[in-house]
């Protein structure tokens, strides 16, 4: 039996089938990954927007190795320098306030939800207006916040306190605001929903509505953050600053870490005993995240995502010529979607067979999230595969 087959069989026997993988991978470097038979692929999924600095970036690997040999974990009962330094860095590029650390996107969003509820508690305000088509995670509260019924199906009763408005329709958001509303939660670019950017006017109107009704504006930056859209955070392309946002995925380059980043207004709402996480912000996780953020800065990856991502998107638009099944190319930076008039699954499988890993999303969108340091040559290779097989 081949190594590939052996891994697959053991997986099917012992791992719950929540995902349906087709391919085993054993190694990654930059934008390339290898399967057990030695075949290589261009990884334009990047761990679903996790590997913004590429697979096994030497700087991140060194930081993890060095920190692992010194201090991995002590709990949050003690001060650790890395956590303070990472919080300062996120605050500097974010909202100027304070951070709370967890381990995943869902946990970061759960933190946002709890923070908003605690902030509104004295006035008995707890409802959060979320968007249809959004994705916020798989815990019960974040699944309830998610605006896709397929995520909730079979798990009812869902926690109460979440309502869903139409994305990019301020009238629909306003109609759901009542005396119990405490916040509005949205993604600047919906990822799982099909790479759908928020309208600039909509984002501005959300901020104005939150100011008018004394609501918190909360952004989920889990997928569109960390430089992916050509800004540190997706909301920064807009004339609207949220009160707090969540970040995870690319923050630790694959080492699990998530954070909730708040502006000054919300910096001291959580007090001892209100919220906690054993593994939140360990010295090791924070070392990985600090190395990631320094790499993004020093290699100019935000600028690269913005400029090279826009050029690549323009090239992709050319693919629509002569292909009736390609109806649109949308997104920001290196968060791109090719919209088809048919299911994307088969086409993604064909692209993978021919060496390019992409991800079908929202049924008919071929999603591409390459590392932000993908080379020009790798972009040419990916384009050639798309040109031949799309
Ligand atoms: C926008 C967004 N929020 C939250 C999550 C959940 O993150 P995690 O899987 O790390 O819990 C995801 C995951 O895809 C996401 O795309």
**CA-CA-CA-CA torsion sign (216, 97, 119, 258):** positive
pLDDT digits (tens, 9 = 90+) for 345-379: 999 999 999 999 999 999 999 999 999 999 999 99
50 lines ligand 1 (CB under 6 A): no
On whether the CB atoms of residues 129 and 118 are closer than 8 A, the answer is no
191 lines ligand 1 (CB under 6 A): yes
Which atom of ligand 1 is found nearest the CA of 106?
A: 11
pLDDT value at position 81? 98
pLDDT value at position 37? 94
Mean pLDDT throughout 101-117? Answer: 98
CATH number at residue 49: 3.90.1150.10
Find the 223 Cα to ligand 1 centroid distance in Å. 6
Can you give the pTM of this predicted structure?
0.98
Find the 387 Cα to ligand 1 centroid distance in Å. 30
Tokens of 53: 């600095």
Contact residues for 198 (Cβ-Cβ < 8 A; gap 6+): 167, 168, 186, 187, 188, 189, 190, 238
Question: Whose alpha carbon is nearest atom 13 of ligand 1?
Answer: 137
Mean pLDDT throughout 135-148? Answer: 98
86 and 109 part of one domain = yes
Question: Quick check: 32 pLDDT over 90?
Answer: yes
- The residue range of the domain holding 35 is 3-57+300-389
Question: Per-residue DSSP letters for 194-255?
Answer: TSEEPPHHHHHHHHHHHHHHT-EEEEE-TTTTTTTTSSSSGGGGSS---SEEEE-GGGGTTS
CATH number at residue 242: 3.40.640.10
Find the 115 Cα to ligand 1 centroid distance in Å. 18
Question: Whose alpha carbon is nearest atom 8 of ligand 1?
Answer: 105
> Last residue of some domain: 250, 273, 298?
298
Structural element, H or E, at residue 363: none
266 and 138 part of one domain = yes
192 lines ligand 1 (CB under 6 A): yes
pLDDT value at position 321? 86
Total domain count, the chain? 2
Contact residues for 62 (Cβ-Cβ < 8 A; gap 6+): 291
| CA 108 to chain CA centroid, nearest Å | 11
Question: Quick check: 283 pLDDT over 90?
Answer: yes
Question: Quick check: 197 pLDDT over 90?
Answer: yes
pLDDT digits (tens, 9 = 90+) for 244-276: 999 999 999 999 999 999 999 999 999 999 999
166 and 142 part of one domain = yes
> Last residue of some domain: 242, 275, 298?
298
pLDDT value at position 256? 98
| Ligand 1 site-directed mutation target among 185, 222, 361, most atoms within 8 Å of CB | 222
Find the 116 Cα to ligand 1 centroid distance in Å. 19
245 and 137 part of one domain = yes
Percent of the chain with pLDDT strictly greater than 70: 100
Q: Strand, helix or coil at 127? A: strand
293 and 327 part of one domain = no
238 and 214 part of one domain = yes
43 and 74 part of one domain = no
pLDDT digits (tens, 9 = 90+) for 284-326: 999 999 999 999 999 999 999 999 999 999 999 999 888 999 9
228 and 376 part of one domain = no
Q: Quote the CA–CA distance of 302 and 372 in Å, as a whole number.
A: 8
Question: Quick check: 139 pLDDT over 90?
Answer: yes
140 and 250 part of one domain = yes
Find the 321 Cα to ligand 1 centroid distance in Å. 34
What is the CB neighbour count within 10 angstroms for residue 271?
A: 8
pLDDT digits (tens, 9 = 90+) for 155-174: 999 999 999 999 999 999 99
287 and 355 part of one domain = no
Question: Whose alpha carbon is nearest atom 3 of ligand 1?
Answer: 136
Q: Quote the CA–CA distance of 355 and 39 in Å, as a whole number.
A: 8
129 and 190 part of one domain = yes
With CA atoms as reference, report the closest residue to 152 among 143, 162, 160, 139.
143
51 and 188 part of one domain = no
Find the 6 Cα to ligand 1 centroid distance in Å. 30
pLDDT value at position 337? 98
Question: Quick check: 145 pLDDT over 90?
Answer: yes
State the residue for tokens 């990856």. 301
> Last residue of some domain: 265, 298, 331?
298
pLDDT value at position 320? 87
From first CA to last CA, the distance across the chain in angstroms is 33
| Ligand 1 site-directed mutation target among 249, 255, 259, 367, most atoms within 8 Å of CB | 249
187 lines ligand 1 (CB under 6 A): yes
């Amino acid at each position: 039996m081949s190594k590939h087959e052996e891994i697959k069989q053991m997986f099917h026997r012992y791992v719950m089938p929540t995902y349906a993988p087709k391919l085993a991978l054993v190694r990654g470097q930059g934008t390339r990954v290898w399967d057990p038979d030695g075949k290589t692929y261009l990884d334009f999924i990047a761990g679903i927007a996790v590997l913004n600095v590429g697979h096994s970036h030497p700087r991140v690997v060194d930081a993890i190795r060095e920190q692992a040999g010194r201090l991995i974990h002590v709990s949050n009962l003690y001060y650790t320098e890395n956590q303070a330094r990472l919080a300062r860095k996120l605050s500097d590029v974010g909202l100027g306030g304070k951070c709370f650390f967890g381990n995943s996107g869902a946990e970061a969003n759960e933190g946002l939800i709890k923070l908003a509820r605690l902030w509104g508690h004295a006035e008995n305000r707890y409802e959060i207006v979320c968007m249809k088509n959004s994705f916020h995670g798989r815990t019960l509260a974040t699944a309830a916040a998610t605006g896709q019924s397929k995520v909730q199906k079979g798990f009812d009763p869902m926690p109460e306190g979440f309502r869903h408005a139409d994305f990019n329709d301020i009238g629909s958001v306003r109609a759901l605001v009542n005396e119990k509303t405490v916040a509005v939660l949205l993604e600047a670019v919906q990822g799982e929903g099909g790479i759908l950017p928020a309208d600039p006017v909509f984002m501005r109107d959300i901020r104005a509505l939150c100011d008018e009704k004394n609501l918190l504006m909360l952004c989920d930056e889990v997928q569109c953050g960390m430089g992916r859209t050509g800004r540190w955070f997706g909301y920064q392309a807009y004339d609207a600053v949220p009160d707090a946002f969540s970040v995870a995925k690319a923050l630790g380059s694959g080492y699990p870490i998530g954070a909730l980043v708040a502006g000054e207004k919300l910096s001291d709402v959580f007090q001892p005993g209100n919220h906690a996480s054993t593994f939140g912000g360990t010295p090791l996780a924070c070392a990985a995240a600090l190395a990631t953020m320094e790499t993004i800065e020093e290699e100019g990856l935000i600028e690269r995502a913005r400029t090279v991502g826009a050029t690549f998107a323009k090239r992709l638009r050319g693919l629509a010529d002569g292909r009736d099944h390609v109806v649109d190319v949308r997104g920001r930076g290196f968060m791109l979607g090719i919209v088809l008039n048919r299911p994307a699954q088969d086409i993604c499988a064909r692209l993978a067979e021919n060496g390019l890993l992409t991800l079908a999303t929202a049924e008919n969108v071929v999603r591409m999230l390459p590392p932000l340091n993908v080379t020009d040559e790798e972009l040419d290779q990916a384009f050639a595969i798309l040109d031949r097989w799309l």
